[in-house]
Amino acid sequence: MRAIVETMSATPLPALASLSPAAARAQDAAYFDAVWNAEAPALPAVTDHRVPGGAGTIAIRLYDPGAARPAPCLVYLHGGGFVLGGLDSHDRVCRELALAAGVLVAAVDYRLAPEHKFPLPLQDCVAAVRGLAALGESWGIDAARLAVGGDSAGGNLALSTLLALRDQGGPTLRAGLLVYGMFAADPACSSQRRFGDGSLLLSTADTEWFWDCYLADAAQRRDPLAVPLLADLHGLPPLHVAAAALDPLLDDSLRLVERLEAARQPHAFRLWPGLTHGSFQMSRRLEPMRGHIAEIGQFLREALAPAAVFSP
């Protein structure tokens, strides 16, 4: 991890907040996504689809590891601070999750901020899950065995999607995967103070810019669907929560786990020692991440089995 941080820091780049959203996306795609998606593992099939929602339809990319039909499916919501990323940014992660779990993975191309502020990206994610439940049978998806997951801002959207589906009539999902999520808009927390100076790939300035892009005003920082750490967490499916130990967002996951425990909500928590934000995409050069992905795969395999029994 140290070698990766030193290599990436050797090329100084403009701060995200100094760029237009389009320029920030181009910089992220060129200097991060292109590096970490290289040499991605092959799959039997990767196909593009669309479901109703958003401004018309939402693009879905379906990753198939050769699962027997009808197959369970993880709906995956990419990270990128609500501003960056898309169907291509987390290609390797989706392929690895599909192989590790032996399930279909459906990546969602939700609308991005600041052009589309809260709640529009969340509405896209909810619509995508509902569309996959309704239409996925023709693509070999078992609508009774769906999970939703994501990393960083995608972790926020995954948890908020579970909350919205719980409160708005379903469908009921079998599991949630939350990887170093943006759950609390708190720039003064301990992990932001310790790790947010920018030397470890993500800064407090970055996370604040992301929140400012996503939310229309400061009042939305008190909306539990925008900041899901504030939500009632009862009645959710089993969750796998993972956090990187050297991440400004570490406290978001630690505080979430405290609230899950208080709510007696079934969950597993894994702290990834020595790793930074962004490491979920770095298995190409970061050997420990391969083991963490294998563990996530086992969680999904068990949670999405025909007769699931959750063991944290």
**Residue-range domain boundaries for the chain:** 2-303
Contact status, residue 174 vs residue 145, Cβ threshold 8 Å: yes
Q: Which of 64, 90, 142, 152 is catalytic?
A: 152
The pLDDT value recorded for residue 312 is 72
**How far is Cα 189 from Cα 56, in angstroms, rounded to an integer?**
39
152 belongs to the catalytic site: yes
Residue 311: per-residue pLDDT: 67
261 token code pair: 């425990």
275 CB-contact burial (10 Å; exposed 0-12 / middle 13-18 / buried 19+): buried
Sheet with 104-108, side-by-side order of all strands: 45-53, 56-64, 104-108, 71-77, 141-151, 175-179, 239-244, 267-272
Query: Residue type for 169, please?
Result: G
- The CA distance from 51 to 59, in Å, is 7
Ranges of the chain with pLDDT below 50: none
Rounded Cα distance between 88 and 71, Å, is 23
pLDDT of 54 reads 79
Q: Residues 277, 279, 283, 292: which is the catalytic one?
A: 277
User: How far is Cα 201 from Cα 111, in angstroms, rounded to an integer?
Assistant: 24
The answer, yes or no, to whether the previous bond of 114 is cis (omega within 30 of 0) is: yes
Torsion of CA 149, 151, 157, 159, to 10 degrees: 60
Query: Which pLDDT score, from 0 to 100, does residue 309 have?
Result: 64
Q: What is the dihedral of CA 46, 48, 51, 57, to 10 degrees?
A: 150
Residue the block writes with tokens 């589309």: 116
Element holding 26 (H helix, E strand): helix 21-28
252 has catalytic annotation = no
pTM for this model (two decimals):
0.97
Q: Give the model's pLDDT for residue 150.
A: 98
Please state at what angle helix 91-101 crosses helix 287-303, rounded to 10 degrees.
50
277 is catalytic: yes
Strand partners, 10: none
List the structure tokens of 24: 């920030």
pLDDT of residue 212: 98
Q: Looking at domain 2-303, what is its CATH homologous superfamily?
A: Alpha/Beta hydrolase fold, catalytic domain (3.40.50.1820)
Unique residue bearing structure tokens 């919501």:
77
pLDDT at 13: 94
C-alpha of 233 from chain center = 18
Tens-place pLDDT, residues 169-218: 999 999 999 999 999 999 999 999 999 999 999 999 999 999 999 999 99
**Residue 307: predicted pLDDT:** 79
